[in-house]
């Protein structure tokens, strides 16, 4: 078992999931703001 | 007359296995209608590239004369040189997607992220099983439930398992109606599956629909530059659809372009299904890890929904979380069917569709992040 690869896979796991959640949350907030601005008009 | 038997005499048992694999894929495509537009060309291509001394691959004939093969050329130009085929397909996919259900309920975005968990769980499992990091990352992306993304990531990372990865990705996408109910029932109760959800969509203005693909491209491009080709072409297709002034181009992208690329993509991918590459114990492992990825995607999405329910007054049916995979619209239909099996009056299709299209965006973000992270960690 290659411990170095497993540690790298774990790093990809947490960084990848964090990256997806942060990016998706930013997009969701942006869309929500767009929706709010549309309602005000 | 010996020259007539040269081919038959040089057939290997591995090539015979590949003929059986090809016929199986064609059978699945025709009889079971499992992703027929991809599995049928791949199945036929698997036979073509494994015929002895086949003319669809580059050959050096007796006398030193070199002959170019069409499938090897298609692979070289359409995938190896620039990943053009999967990327062009994304324009067509983008033009097909209506992001309306998602834009009217931005909370559904989160499930697209949660249901990518299987990618990373599968990368870890592949690494534990002894695959190199670039192969593990490529295998894990089967969990994106997105064929073109799987092909692109495995190509960019130079994985030698592109053939099995493509077969697994497309086969399990076709098996979503079997895999997802099994996974969802593992982590939900009957009571949870019966939760009703109100659907009060807010109007989505044309301006929002036009700004959305541009904004997503910029945001994702800033965070995960390796995703730009994927998300950019996806959103380009969607902008053509939503702008309202390019109707003929939108129709062309949805039909002509998507069909043409799909037609060629399957048979081109079969280049990576040559017996010496495909008939290995690793192929079996990749199929197992791919199934694990799909199961963990569904479980990840469901568990996220259950976690969110701890804080929400209006509870979410946790099955919606599992719809956050990229297999659209199959996954949302499966979720709706499961909801109606528990309670025939329960309609959650539009929520599931919102999560499902979010999965399409999240899967390409995941693809870009995996390329970026894996390439920086590979020594």
Q: What is the C-alpha radius of gyration for chain B, rounded to an integer number of angstroms?
A: 22
Question: Over B48-72, what HEC string results?
Answer: HHHCCCCCCCCEECCCCCEECCHHH
Is the dihedral angle over the CA atoms B166, B167, B172, B174 positive or is it negative? positive
Contacts of B370 in chain A (CB under 8 A): 12, 16
Q: What is the pLDDT of residue B168?
A: 87
Q: Which of B200, B227, B47 is CA-nearest to residue A27? A: B227
Q: Which of B90-94, B225-229, B328-332 has the highest mean pLDDT?
A: B90-94
pTM of the full structure: 0.87
- Residue B59 has φ and ψ, to the nearest 5°, of -135, 155
E-strand stretches of B138-265: none
Q: What is the pLDDT of residue A40?
A: 64
CB contact under 8 A, B208 and A19: no
Contacts of A8 in chain B (CB under 8 A): 127, 133, 377
CB contact under 8 A, B107 and A38: no
Closest-CA distance, B91 to chain A, in angstroms, reads 20
- Residue B138 has φ and ψ, to the nearest 5°, of -70, -40
Reported as half-sphere exposure (CB side, CA atoms, 13 A), residue B352 has a value of 27
pLDDT at position B315 over 80 = yes
Q: How many CB atoms lie within 10 A of CB B268?
A: 27
Mean pLDDT of B111-135: 95
Closest-CA distance, B26 to chain A, in angstroms, reads 35
Mean pLDDT of B258-274: 90
Q: What is the pLDDT of residue B249?
A: 95
Q: What is the pLDDT of residue B171?
A: 80
Distance CA B161, CA B163 (A): 5
What is the separation of C-alpha B75 from the centre of its chain, rounded to a whole number of angstroms? 19
Token pair for B303: 């568990």
pLDDT tens profile B362-376: 999 999 999 999 999
pLDDT at position B32 over 90 = no
Contacts of A30 in chain B (CB under 8 A): 215, 219
The more confident residue out of B65 and B300 is B300
Distance CA B206, CA B223 (A): 26
Which residue, among A10, A27, A30, A33, would best test binding to B if mutated, counting the most B CBs under 10 Å from its CB? A27
The beta-carbon neighbor of A11 closest among B223, B365, B377 is B377
Token pair for B294: 């799909």
The beta-carbon neighbor of A24 closest among B109, B133, B370 is B109
Distance CA B154, CA B167 (A): 13
Q: What is the pLDDT of residue B351?
A: 92
Beta strands B59-60 and B66-67 are antiparallel
Contacts of B365 in chain A (CB under 8 A): 19-20, 23-24
The helix/strand/coil state of B177 is helix
pLDDT tens profile B139-186: 999 998 888 889 889 989 999 898 889 888 888 887 888 899 999 999
Q: pLDDT tier at B282 (50, 70, 90 boundaries)? A: very high
Q: Which residue of B has its CA nearest to A13?
A: B120
pLDDT at position B379 over 70 = no
Closest-CA distance, B330 to chain A, in angstroms, reads 22
The mean pLDDT value of chain B amounts to: 90
Q: What is the pLDDT of residue B82?
A: 78
Contacts of A34 in chain B (CB under 8 A): 103, 207-208, 211-212
Packing angle of the helix pair B258-269, B36-50 (nearest 10 deg): 40
Q: What is the pLDDT of residue B278?
A: 85
Mean pLDDT of B38-66: 86
Q: Which of B205, B226, B176 is CA-nearest to residue B352? A: B176
pLDDT at position B7 over 80 = no
The more confident residue out of B200 and B72 is B72
Q: Which residue of B has its CA nearest to A28?
A: B106
Distance CA B19, CA B250 (A): 39
- CA distance readout (Å), B198 to B70, B201, B222, B257, B333: 54, 9, 35, 38, 18
Closest-CA distance, B107 to chain A, in angstroms, reads 7
Mean pLDDT of B294-310: 95
Spell out the per-residue pLDDT of chain A, length 41, in tens.
788 999 999 999 999 999 999 999 999 999 999 888 876 65
Tell me if B49 sits within 8 A of B56, measured CB to CB. yes
Domains contained in chain A, number: 1
Boundaries of domain holding A10:
1-41
Q: What is the pLDDT of residue B138?
A: 95
Contacts of A3 in chain B (CB under 8 A): none
pLDDT at position B33 over 90 = no
Distance CA B53, CA B172 (A): 32
Closest-CA distance, A40 to chain B, in angstroms, reads 12
């Amino acid at each position: 078992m290659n411990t170095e690869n497993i540690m790298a896979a774990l790093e990809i796991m947490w960084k990848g999931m964090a990256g997806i959640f942060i990016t998706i949350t930013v997009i969701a907030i942006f869309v929500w703001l767009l929706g709010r601005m549309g309602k005000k008009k | 007359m010996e020259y007539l038997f040269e081919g038959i005499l040089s057939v290997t048992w591995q090539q015979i296995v590949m003929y059986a694999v090809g016929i199986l894929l064609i059978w699945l495509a025709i009889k079971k209608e499992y992703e027929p537009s991809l599995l049928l060309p791949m199945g036929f291509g698997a036979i073509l590239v494994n015929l002895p001394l086949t003319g669809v691959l580059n050959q050096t004939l007796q006398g030193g004369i070199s002959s170019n093969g069409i499938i090897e050329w298609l692979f070289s130009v359409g995938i190896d040189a620039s990943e053009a085929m999967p990327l062009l397909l994304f324009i067509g996919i983008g033009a097909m997607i209506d992001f309306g259900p998602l834009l009217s309920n931005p909370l559904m975005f989160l499930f697209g992220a949660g249901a990518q968990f299987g990618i990373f769980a599968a990368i870890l499992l592949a690494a534990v099983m002894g695959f190199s990091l670039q192969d593990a990352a490529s295998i894990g992306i089967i969990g994106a439930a997105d064929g073109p993304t799987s092909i692109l990531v495995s190509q960019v990372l130079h994985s030698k398992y592109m053939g099995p990865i493509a077969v697994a990705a497309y086969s399990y996408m076709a098996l979503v109606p079997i895999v997802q109910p099994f996974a969802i029932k593992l982590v939900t109760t009957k009571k949870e599956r019966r939760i009703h959800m109100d659907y009060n969509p807010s109007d989505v203005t044309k301006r929002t629909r036009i700004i959305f693909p541009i904004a997503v491209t910029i945001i994702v491009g800033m965070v995960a530059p390796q995703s730009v080709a994927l998300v950019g072409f996806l959103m380009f297709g969607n902008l053509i659809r939503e702008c309202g002034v390019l109707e003929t181009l939108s129709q062309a992208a949805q039909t002509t372009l998507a069909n043409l690329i799909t037609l060629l993509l399957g048979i081109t991918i079969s280049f990576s299904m040559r017996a010496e590459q495909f008939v290995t114990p690793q192929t079996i492992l990749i199929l197992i890890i791919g199934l694990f990825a799909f199961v963990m995607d569904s479980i990840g999405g469901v568990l996220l929904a259950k976690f969110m329910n701890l804080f929400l007054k209006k509870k979410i049916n946790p099955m919606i979380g599992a719809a956050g995979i990229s297999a659209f619209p199959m996954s949302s239909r499966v979720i709706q069917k499961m909801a109606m099996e528990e309670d025939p009056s329960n309609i959650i299709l539009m929520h599931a569709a919102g999560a499902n299209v979010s999965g399409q965006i999240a899967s390409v973000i995941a693809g870009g992040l995996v390329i970026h992270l894996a390439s920086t960690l590979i020594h």
